[in-house]
Structure 1
Amino acid sequence: MPVDGRIETSAPSVDSVSRSPSAPPIARQAWLDALRGLAALVVVFEHSLDALLPEVRGAVSPWFDFGQYGVLLFFLISGYVVPVSLERRASVRGFWITRFFRIYPLWAVAAAVGTAFAVAGVWNVIPGQTAERPWTALLAHLTMLQDLLQVPSVVNVFWTLSYEMAFYLLVTAMFVLGSRGAGAGTSLSFAACGLLAGLLIPAGWLTRNLGVAVVGVATVALLGGIAAVVSTDRNVRTRGAVVIAALALVLLTFNSRVGAWQSLVILATMFAGTAVYRLQHSEAPARTRWMLALVPVVSVAAAVLLGPGWGMSESAEQAFKWSWSAALIGAWLTFAAGLALRHRAVSRALVWLGLVSYSIYLLHPLILQVVRRLTMDPSQISLPARLAWEAALFALVLGLAALGHRFVERPAQRVGRRLARAVPRESAIHLEK
Structure 2
Amino acid sequence: MSVSNPAEGPPASSRTRAGAPAGRLAVLDGVRVFAALAVLFYHYVVLASAWGEPTEGVFPVARGFAVYGWLGVEIFFLVSGFVICMSAWGRTVGDFAVSRVSRLFPAYWAAVAFTSLVLLNWPEVREVERITDVVVNLSMLQGGLGVPNIDDAYWTLFVELKFYVLFAVVVMRGLTYRNCVLFCGVWTLAGVVAPTVDNGVLSFFAVPSASPYFIAGIAFYLMRRFRPNAVLWAVVLAQFLLAQHHVGARMVASLGKTATEHIRDWPAHLIILLGFAVMAGIALGAFDRVHWRWLPHAGALTYPLYLIHMMAGLTIIHHFRSEVAPVPLAIGVTAVMLAIAWIMHRLIERPLGRMLRDSLRRGVQDIRSGTPGPSRPSIDLVPAQPSAPEAERLPARS
Q: Does 1:74 align with 2:76?
A: yes
Q: How far does residue 362 in structure 1 lie from its aligned partner after superposition? A: 1.2
1:347 aligned residue (292, 306, 317): 292
Structure 1 residues 191 and 327 mapped into 2: Cα distance closer, same or farther (>3 Å)?
farther
The alignment yields a C-alpha RMSD, in angstroms, of 3.7
Aligned to 1:28: 24
Aligned to 2:383: none
Structure 1 residues 163 and 194 mapped into 2: Cα distance closer, same or farther (>3 Å)?
same
Structure 1 residues 93 and 318 mapped into 2: Cα distance closer, same or farther (>3 Å)?
farther
Q: Is the 8 A contact 2:252 2:260 kept in 1?
A: no
Equivalent position amino acid for 1:268 in 2: P
Aligned to 2:378: none
Distance 2:268 2:166 in 1: 25
Larger Rg: 2
Deviations 1:96-137 (A, max 9, x none): 22322221122112112222222333433237xx54xx64x4
Aligned to 1:225: none
Distance 1:387 1:138 in 2: 32
Distance 2:197 2:256 in 1: 19
Deviates more, 1:164-173 or 1:367-376: 367-376
Equivalent position amino acid for 1:418 in 2: D
Q: Is the 8 A contact 2:40 2:69 kept in 1?
A: no
Q: How far does residue 344 in structure 1 lie from its aligned partner after superposition? A: 1.8
Tell me the number of residue pairs that the alignment of Structure 1 and Structure 2 aligns.
349
Q: How far does residue 270 in structure 1 lie from its aligned partner after superposition? A: 0.9
Q: Is the 8 A contact 1:187 1:268 kept in 2?
A: no
Q: How far does residue 309 in structure 1 lie from its aligned partner after superposition? A: 6.9
Q: Does 1:59 align with 2:64?
A: yes
Structure 1 residues 284 and 342 mapped into 2: Cα distance closer, same or farther (>3 Å)?
closer
Q: How far does residue 182 in structure 1 lie from its aligned partner after superposition? A: 4.8
Aligned to 1:267: 211
Q: How far does residue 140 in structure 1 lie from its aligned partner after superposition? A: 5.0
Equivalent position amino acid for 2:9 in 1: E
Distance 1:284 1:337 in 2: 12
Q: Does 1:374 align with 2:370?
A: no
Q: Does 1:145 align with 2:107?
A: no
Distance 1:79 1:153 in 2: 24
Structure with more helix by fraction:
1
Equivalent position amino acid for 1:60 in 2: F
Structure with more relative contact order (C-alpha pairs < 8 Å, separation 6 or more)? 1
Structure 2 residues not aligned, in runs of 5+: 15-20, 369-398
Correspondence 1:33-182 to 2 at 5 A: 33-50=29-46, 51=51, 54-56=59-61, 58-60=63-65, 65-67=68-70, 69-88=71-90, 90-126=91-127, 131=130, 135=132, 137-138=133-134, 140-178=136-174, 180=176, 181-182=178-179
Equivalent position amino acid for 1:2 in 2: V
Q: Is the 8 A contact 1:183 1:271 kept in 2?
A: no
Equivalent position amino acid for 2:110 in 1: V
Tell me the TM-score normalized by structure 2: 0.74
Equivalent position amino acid for 2:336 in 1: L
| SS class of match (2:319) | helix
Structure 1 residues 316 and 150 mapped into 2: Cα distance closer, same or farther (>3 Å)?
farther
Distance 2:99 2:268 in 1: 33
Correspondence 1:273-352 to 2 at 5 A: 273-282=217-226, 285-304=229-248, 308=252, 313=257, 316=260, 319=263, 325-339=269-283, 340-352=285-297
Distance 1:409 1:392 in 2: 24
Deviations 1:343-391 (A, max 9, x none): 12332222211122112111222551343233336xx96xxx4332233
Q: Does 1:401 align with 2:354?
A: no
Aligned to 1:227: none
Percent sequence identity over aligned pairs: 22
Q: Is the 8 A contact 2:216 2:239 kept in 1?
A: yes
Distance 2:123 2:351 in 1: 30
Structure 1 residues 346 and 273 mapped into 2: Cα distance closer, same or farther (>3 Å)?
same
